[in-house]
Amino acid sequence: MVLTGPKVRTEAGGLDGVARRTYRRPVTRPTLEGMTDTPVLDPAHLVADPSEPTPPVTTDVDTRDAVEAIARDAKAASRVLATATRAAKDAALEAMAHALVAEAPRIIEANGADLERGKAAGMKDSLLDRLALDEDRIGAIADALRELAALPDPVGEVVRGSTLPNGLVLRQVRVPMGVVGMIYEARPNVTVDAAGLALKSGNAVVLRGGSAAASSNQVIVDVLGAALEAQGLPAALVQSIDRYGRTGAVELMRARGLVDVLVPRGGADLIQTVVRESLVPVIETGVGNCHVYVDAQVDIEQALAIVLNSKTQRTGVCNAAETLLVHEGVAQQFLPAALSALHEAGVVIHADEATAALAQVPVVEATEEDWATEYLSLDIAVRVVPDLDSALEHISTWSSGHTEAICTTDLRAAERFTRELDSAALIVNASTRFTDGGQFGLGAEIGISTQKLHARGPMGLGELTTTSWVVTGDGHLRE
């Protein structure tokens, strides 16, 4: 779709040329709504008043020693990997991919045990979908490892360099982090993604995958470790602490000096607990309360397709749309068809009053809680807004900073949307589902960061490295 030039007013008469200067993001306490696994710490701790002192968390010495030993083994293994060539790392990735496919029956059997426990515990269908593995999914996971092998090795890349007037030669070079810790929920594919990304970027990884996927993850880690050893690399490059439960997760968060960075991936409660409690530096992967805004000037058929894809292509993922905002100038044309299509796809529509008045299908009344919710299910909140300013205000108030999309043919509206919002990904005339490391050409991702340091957006190979300055002189002395 070709965007047209700027217009002073929208078709509905609302001003779209006045820039909004500041937006307030609400301060909310963590909620247990939408948890996909048991929290790392006790739920009462998660909802404690942030202004109160953090209660002490006791752990047993045996678990502390065991987790620290695993982290030391990982640190030693990372030093071995630091000397490996790209060819050696790529061969190991290919071997890991082959081993996963070869051991698929064993992995699927273990995954079946996880699924049975999940169903018995009342796990949501969307979360069971995240947990489930079959031959096709294992094949796709293995293919992702092969795709990583085909990508350039970030280690050793010169970010910038110069020669100073005194003759010193400077180079800023990408180097591995060292040991990456991961705490995540019910996602056995993340186990493989993390292992592959860590290997290619020169890092060891220590994993806490949660009780819901414990059987799957243990078999996967065993398979990957055996493949690494067959290639002459340490199995300790990929290790799990799942057997130590929540206590092990707490010790992983406290292993500063042994673990270089920690990446939580999962529900809001898990992520915020790790951010708040960890002594190890954390890269925060955020909740995906993603928005699609349909502007007054829009290709209606294109916008309808984008909304449906953003919501229904896959629901239990962080880049699925959770709120639809529609400009009042196009609401009568767009919403009846859009709501009917969403309803036909099985989506429960949480509608504001203006949306409900235009609906030709059943809807439920939207509340403020809906605007804040990452459903991870066939639910969507829908609101009619008077103008672009109101859409920007709504998104800035309720967004988790993950992905926002605009459907428009107005160039100025698109420019304002991408300039004035503060999210990791801002999309014009495309589905929110594209915020993904694979779709961005980064290979698999270890998560989607919604913070600004050290990485933001899909975290691929480059985001799992840091830099060192290499300074070369010829007997230079500082005066």
pLDDT band at 50 (very low <50, low <70, confident <90, very high): very low
In a domain, 461, yes or no: no
Q: What single-letter amino acid sits at 444?
A: A
- For residue 268, the model assigns a pLDDT of 80
In a domain, 10, yes or no: no
CATH assignment at residue 216: 3.40.605.10
Q: Check whether residue 281 and residue 302 sit in a common domain.
A: no
Residue 57 has pLDDT above 70, yes or no: no
Q: Check whether residue 238 and residue 133 sit in a common domain.
A: yes
Q: Check whether residue 369 and residue 266 sit in a common domain.
A: no
Backbone angles phi, psi at 122, to 5 degrees: 80, 25
Residue 276 has pLDDT above 60, yes or no: yes
Q: Check whether residue 205 and residue 279 sit in a common domain.
A: yes
In a domain, 42, yes or no: no
What's the mean per-residue pLDDT of the chain? 88
What are the angstrom distances between the C-alpha of 225 and each of 140, 205, 237, 238, 239? Answer: 20, 12, 8, 6, 8
Helix (H) or strand (E) holding 425: strand 425-428
More confident residue, 226 or 453: 226
Q: Check whether residue 164 and residue 268 sit in a common domain.
A: yes
Query: Which distant-in-sequence residues (6+ apart) come within 8 Å of 324 by Cβ?
Result: 291, 292, 294, 307, 311, 338, 380, 381, 382, 383
Residue 28 has pLDDT above 60, yes or no: no
Residue 148 has pLDDT above 50, yes or no: yes
What are the angstrom distances between the C-alpha of 152 and each of 148, 375, 387, 447? Answer: 8, 36, 45, 20
Structural domain harbouring 323 = 290-434
Q: Check whether residue 234 and residue 362 sit in a common domain.
A: no
In a domain, 464, yes or no: no
Peptide bond into 454 cis (omega under 30): yes
DSSP SS3 for 229: helix
Q: Check whether residue 231 and residue 138 sit in a common domain.
A: yes
Residue 27 has pLDDT above 70, yes or no: no
Q: Which of 239, 268, 285 is the last residue of a domain?
A: 285
In a domain, 17, yes or no: no
Helix (H) or strand (E) holding 406: strand 403-407
Q: Which of 231, 254, 285 is the last residue of a domain?
A: 285
Q: Which tokens in the block code for residue 51? A: 């202004």
Summarised one tens digit per residue, pLDDT across range 416-459 is 999 999 999 999 999 999 999 889 988 678 889 988 888 899 99
pLDDT band at 377 (very low <50, low <70, confident <90, very high): very high
Q: Check whether residue 261 and residue 314 sit in a common domain.
A: no
**pLDDT above 70 covers what percent of the chain?**
87
In a domain, 16, yes or no: no
Q: Check whether residue 297 and residue 252 sit in a common domain.
A: no
Q: Which of 399, 416, 434 is the last residue of a domain?
A: 434
Mean pLDDT across 22-42: 34
Residue 407 has pLDDT above 80, yes or no: yes
pLDDT band at 41 (very low <50, low <70, confident <90, very high): very low
Q: Check whether residue 281 and residue 294 sit in a common domain.
A: no
Lowest-pLDDT choice from 152-156, 160-164, 203-207, 456-460? 456-460
Q: Check whether residue 152 and residue 87 sit in a common domain.
A: yes
In a domain, 79, yes or no: yes
- For residue 280, the model assigns a pLDDT of 97
Residues 367, 381: contact at Cβ < 8 Å? Answer: no
Summarised one tens digit per residue, pLDDT across range 183-223 is 998 789 999 999 999 999 999 999 999 889 999 999 999 99
pLDDT band at 3 (very low <50, low <70, confident <90, very high): low
- For residue 59, the model assigns a pLDDT of 52
Summarised one tens digit per residue, pLDDT across range 289-300 is 999 999 999 999
CATH assignment at residue 352: 3.40.309.10
Q: How far apart are CA 203 and CA 465, in angstroms?
A: 8
Q: How far apart are CA 264 and CA 275, in angstroms?
A: 8
Q: Model pTM?
A: 0.78
- For residue 97, the model assigns a pLDDT of 98
Q: Domain tally for the chain?
A: 2
- For residue 293, the model assigns a pLDDT of 98
Check residue 179 and give left, alpha or beta (phi > 0: left; psi -120 to 50: alpha): beta
Summarised one tens digit per residue, pLDDT across range 169-181 is 999 999 999 999 9
- CA distance from start to end of the chain: 61
Summarised one tens digit per residue, pLDDT across range 109-119 is 999 999 999 99
- For residue 286, the model assigns a pLDDT of 73
Which range is most confident: 41-45, 99-103, 443-447? 99-103
In a domain, 226, yes or no: yes
Sheet order of strands, 290-294 included: 364-365, 348-351, 379-385, 321-327, 290-294, 403-407, 425-428
- For residue 434, the model assigns a pLDDT of 96
Alpha helices in 240-323 (DSSP H): 245-253, 268-277, 300-312
Q: Check whether residue 427 and residue 325 sit in a common domain.
A: yes
